[in-house]
Amino acid sequence: MSQLLSRALVSINWLSEALKTCKPGPALRVLDASFYYPPIRDGRKEYEEVHIPGALYFDIDECKDLGSPYEVMVPSEAYFAKYVGNLGINNETHVVIYDADQVGVYYSARAWWMFRVFGHSKVSVLNGGFRNWVKQGLPVTSEVVKPKPELFQAVLNPSLVKTFEDIQRNRNTKEFQLVDSRSEGRYKGTEPEPGEVIFPGHIPGSLNLPFTSFLTEEGFEKSPDEMMQLFQERGIDLSKPLTITCRRGVTACQLALASFILGKEDTAVYDGSWFEWFHRAKPEDRVTLWKDKK
């Protein structure tokens, strides 16, 4: 396995070596973006107990539009700039993001996508995540460093973020392919949504390609050839516009990451995803097999 897998993906060996030669700082920042929903685990508490030396905690539930009724919508440019600036990140920083979920890569893909949404291209996901860092016996610590704030200028790239209105309009115009990254059961409406605030189902016209398909059992990203095959098997054409949806715009970012690795850098994410669609769309515009739908 090559050291620098792609601009969007770095290997555990690459990060381990990089940290030996470059102490975490404005040139290289490592972020732990672990988060869990429903809150069966506490990402911040786990980070404080054990993390990659020098890593800082990126709180997905804090770095969002706090005024939105939907689950994790992107914040304003000013909010994001201040949030990541306080993590000691400037526009030249190479940011490497990981999380501690058992699947290997979960919320780190959302944080990666957010950096790209706000114009930062020097951002990578740690392939295999914290699970495999620990498995390889690499150093961990409970020491939390306090970074010196840096100036970060955020410029929103609206082409990477789709709104409710965009999805509604697309039902007639078919400007882009829409793909749902949740499990088949949640997509079809045969298994419940986490938290059970909403019932499962999908947006009419969306295809289903679960994000877990892109990960090996060990928690690493599959090879580019395998990724390409997954898209092709579902009839998804990476040469055409593509938008990904899920429940709250998190696992959708896994497919945005996969397509980026395959050279498609303009895949958009429907930020509100099924949670917003469920609350705003007409009942007849929600496709579901859920029994007790109201």
Instruction: List pLDDT tens digits, range 246-255.
Output: 999 999 999 9
- Same domain for 222 and 281: yes
Residues involved in catalysis: 246
Identify the DSSP state of 236: -
Number of folded domains that form the chain: 2
- Same domain for 108 and 186: no
In the chain, which ranges are E strands?
9-10, 28-32, 56-57, 94-98, 123-126, 161-162, 177-180, 207-208, 242-245, 268-270
- Same domain for 166 and 130: no
- Same domain for 63 and 109: yes
pTM (2 d.p.): 0.95
Count Cα neighbours of 118 within 13 Å in the Cβ-side half-sphere.
26
State residue 1's pLDDT score: 34
- Same domain for 83 and 176: no
Q: Grade residue 23 by pLDDT with cuts at 50, 70 and 90.
A: confident
- Same domain for 267 and 186: yes
> Minimum mean pLDDT among 20-29, 44-53, 143-152: which range?
20-29
- The residue-averaged pLDDT of 78-89 equals 98
Are 258 and 252 contacting, i.e. CB atoms less than 8 angstroms apart? no
* Domain residue limits at 275: 158-285
Most distant CA pair in the chain, distance = 58
Percent of the chain beyond pLDDT 70? 97
What are the pLDDT digits (tens) for 179-197?
999 999 999 999 999 876 8
What are the pLDDT digits (tens) for 255-272?
999 999 999 999 999 999
Residue 226 inside a domain? The answer is: yes
What are the pLDDT digits (tens) for 9-19?
999 999 999 99
As a whole number of Å, the end-to-end CA separation of the chain is: 50
- Same domain for 166 and 126: no
State residue 109's pLDDT score: 97
For CA atoms 268, 210, 14, 1, the dihedral sign is negative
Residue 279 inside a domain? The answer is: yes
CATH number of the domain bearing residue 255: 3.40.250.10
Edge-first strand order for the sheet with 28-32 is: 9-10, 123-126, 94-98, 28-32, 56-57
Residue 292 inside a domain? The answer is: no
Q: Grade residue 2 by pLDDT with cuts at 50, 70 and 90.
A: very low
